[in-house]
Structure 1
Amino acid sequence: MPMFSRIQLVSCSLAAMLTLGGCSTTSSPGPTPYQAAKTENAYGYSSVQLSDSEYRILFKASENTPADLVQQYTVLRGAEIAKRQGYDWLTVVKTDIQRKKSTAKKIVRKEGREGHVFPPEQQCTMSGCQEVGQPFDGPVGEVEVDNVPTKDVYYSILVRFGDSQVSTDGNALRVSEVLNNRPETD
């Protein structure tokens, strides 16, 4: 049976800690990608149908996600639903934003060492994406996982769909244009 080096064992342990932590509701220190929220408390978009032509779209993001990107993500999700329902236009009727305290996890070198932060890396499979630790060089015991206070952003919009610009209102957006001008997503 091959022997693993101490560095390989620490790297594997660190990756396992991050993999298990990826299932929690702990905030990510990086921007939230465009994705469906897998659970009620997860990061990403969710929606509730209010009537045949109205939906409430919510996007939960880390505070490191730019505000304009969160807004674009919610409108994009609205456009995806409108297209699926056969509508050509949508309008944002109401917006709401809340910030709630949370905790993010960061991998850092212990005190007395260089303060290098190890950024997470996305690993995607058919069952979804999660953040995993990157391998590092150095003696065992030089890194730890820190809890960092942060805030989560809850951005919601009420959207109304219609077959024409007039049926929604003068500020309506054409669904095809929103879908063709998708924001950069991770």
Structure 2
Amino acid sequence: MFERKSLTRITYFISSAIFALTLTLACSTVPSASPTPYQSATMPNGYGYSSIQLADNEYKVLFKATDKTSADLVQEYTLRRAAELAKKQNFSWISIVKTDVEKKPGIGKSIVRNKPSRNVKIPQDQQCTMSGCEEVAQPFIENQDDIEVRDTPMSDIYYSIIVRMSQSKPPGNAFAVNEILTNASQAKNANAG
């Protein structure tokens, strides 16, 4: 026979699982109206980077992002991907031959809290093991009516560059592959810390 606390825990767990599944399904076909992280575009029209090899030492690199992603970050992500490709091909330098930016309007999803967060007492339970007993917080989910997924107008940004790769520094404006990758790694570590 279940105790009331066990039944409450099971109810919270099931409610949490249903809520998470609902959000996942609601957001799976429409993009999130939030900044696009550095990632590979996993689908043909997905968000993130993709590339096409044009010649032995030339690539077109595209980064698709939401308009919630800053223009500087989109350019940085595209250049970073170009540097990763150059490193894989054992090139030390890249130069940008051509850039292109396109903006297309669309609709994204955003999660909105309908009511301000309230102070909620988190249910506590006593958990006992061989080494003693302690108070443990139980899973808690706010009322699902407090949170809503809404359509939000947004734009998709398509930023592409054509890069030429070389072993030695070419004339004109060129970027050292190792420097780009080092800067990207330092930025990632700074954001993580």
Deviation per residue, 1:76-133 (Å, 9 max, x gap): 10011011111111001111111111222122234xx4499xxxxxxxxxxxxxxxxx
Which of residues 38, 54, 57 in structure 2 aligns to 1:34? 38
Which of residues 142, 164, 173 in structure 2 aligns to 1:171? 173
Which protein shows a greater Rg? 2
Count of aligned pairs between the two proteins = 163
The letter of the residue matching 1:149 is P
- Could you tell me how far apart the structure 1 residues matched to 2:152 and 2:117 are? 15
Matches within 5 A, 1:75-90: 75-90=79-94
Match status 1:147 vs 2:151: yes
- Could you tell me how far apart the structure 1 residues matched to 2:159 and 2:83 are? 16
- Could you tell me how far apart the structure 2 residues matched to 1:10 and 1:79 are? 45
The letter of the residue matching 1:66 is S
What is the CA-CA distance between 1:148 and the residue it aligns to?
0.7
Percent identity between the aligned chains? 44
Partner of 2:16: 11
TM-score by length of 2: 0.74
Q: Any unmatched runs of 5+ in structure 2?
A: 119-138
- Could you tell me how far apart the structure 2 residues matched to 1:176 and 1:148 are? 39
Which of residues 144, 158, 162 in structure 2 aligns to 1:158? 162
CA gap 1:181/1:136 in 2 versus in 1, 3 angstroms: same
Which of residues 59, 65, 73 in structure 1 aligns to 2:69? 65
Instruction: Choose between structure 1 and 2: higher helix proportion.
Output: 2
Q: Any unmatched runs of 5+ in structure 1?
A: 117-134
Q: Secondary structure at the match of 1:68?
A: helix
